[in-house]
């Protein structure tokens, strides 16, 4: 009996490249013995809804799109009692998570890799009851991914994020927050907070992380303090360039549970999408929550 595979694709992700490769992808998977059912998302949240509704019928659910599409598929899968395997064909603009775990960027090769894949357990983040795959963040540049117009992303690709980031340089705002983990409490003004299990964010390697894992039951947390003067700012930049964080300005640690609170509402991003504005964020890791299919060839 053929294994059933649900292929959920975002036809407008990236430059819409899946439109010219869809039948090739289906052919590759069908020849490998899968019974493929394809679904084209029409609006935000569609992938989550379809997985919640019919995901239990499938052995594998494949997200074909950007990190946002993968996020929606994972959110849907997390509601299922028995979770299917998750596969990913990255066709978005940055594809951070795909880069992190070493998935091919070529659509045909990504589809072929599913046929040779082995299971890989992956931790998932819970943010005030919502799920995310690889990053929750607030502060400098974190709004770029969801404020960059789709047309710009599709026309000029990753440069669209760069241009949008340059526009936000003059608007960097510090947030006065309290950060609490199982073992410590940190207070102060920070221009960036990031809770992640990926070494790629916004299309770039996160050079501040030397030790990370997607399945160790721990987040990697990065907090960058507000520079009080140009010298502080230069020291922060030097930390990033040299890959040697200055602990006076850049704090990096691991945690499985973290609460970040503030007197004001802070806008958050989850996997590159707007995650709402919150005065309190309760973030917890769910170890080995999903099983990805990944080829090591």
| Helix, strand, or coil (residue 297) | coil
Q: Is 24 a catalytic residue?
A: no
Q: Measured between alpha carbons, how far is 289 from 205 in angstroms, rounded to an integer?
A: 25
**Catalytic-role residue among 35, 52, 180, 273:** 273
Reported as half-sphere exposure (CB side, CA atoms, 13 A), residue 189 has a value of 6
Cβ(67)–Cβ(283) below 8 Å: no
Cβ distance 179 to 186 under 8 Å? Answer: yes
Measuring CA to CA, how many Å separate 97 from each of 4, 105, 168, 184, 189?
A: 25, 11, 24, 29, 29
Cα separation, 59 vs 277, whole angstroms: 36
**Chain-centre distance for alpha carbon 271:** 3
Dig out the tokens for 143 from the structure.
């709004």
Q: Give 188's strand partners.
A: 177
Pairing of the two strands 60-65 and 85-90: parallel
**Which tokens hold the place of 108?**
């045909």
What is each CA distance from 144 to 29, 137, 269, in whole angstroms? Answer: 35, 12, 9
Coil/strand/helix, residue 60? strand
Report the catalytic residues. Answer: 273
């Amino acid at each position: 009996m053929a294994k059933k595979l649900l292929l959920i694709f975002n036809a407008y992700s990236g430059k819409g490249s899946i439109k010219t490769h869809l039948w090739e992808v289906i052919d590759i998977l069908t020849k490998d013995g899968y019974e493929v059912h394809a679904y084209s998302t029409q609006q935000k949240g569609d992938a989550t809804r379809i997985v919640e509704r019919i995901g239990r019928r499938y052995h594998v659910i494949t997200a074909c799109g950007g990190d946002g599409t993968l996020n929606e598929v994972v959110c849907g899968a997390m509601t299922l009692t028995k979770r299917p395997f998750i596969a990913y064909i990255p066709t978005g603009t940055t594809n951070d998570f795909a880069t992190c775990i070493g998935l091919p960027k070529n659509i045909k090769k990504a589809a072929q890799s599913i046929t040779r894949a082995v299971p890989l357990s992956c931790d998932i983040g819970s943010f005030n009851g919502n799920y995310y795959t690889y990053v929750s963040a607030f502060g400098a540049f974190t709004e770029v991914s969801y404020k960059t117009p789709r047309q710009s992303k599709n026309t000029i690709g990753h440069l669209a994020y760069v241009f949008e980031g340059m526009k936000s340089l003059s608007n960097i705002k510090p947030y006065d927050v309290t950060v609490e983990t199982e073992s410590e409490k940190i207070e102060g003004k920070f221009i960036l907070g990031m809770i992640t299990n990926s070494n790629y964010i916004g299309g770039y390697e996160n050079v501040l992380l030397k030790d990370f894992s997607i399945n160790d039951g721990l987040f990697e947390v990065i907090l960058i303090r507000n520079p009080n003067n140009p010298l502080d700012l230069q020291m922060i930049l030097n930390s990033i360039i040299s890959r040697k964080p200055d602990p006076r300005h850049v704090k990096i640690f691991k945690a499985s549970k973290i609460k970040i609170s503030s007197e004001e509402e802070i806008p958050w991003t989850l996997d590159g999408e707007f995650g709402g504005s919150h005065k309190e964020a309760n973030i917890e890791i769910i170890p080995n929550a999903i099983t990805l299919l990944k080829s090591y060839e």
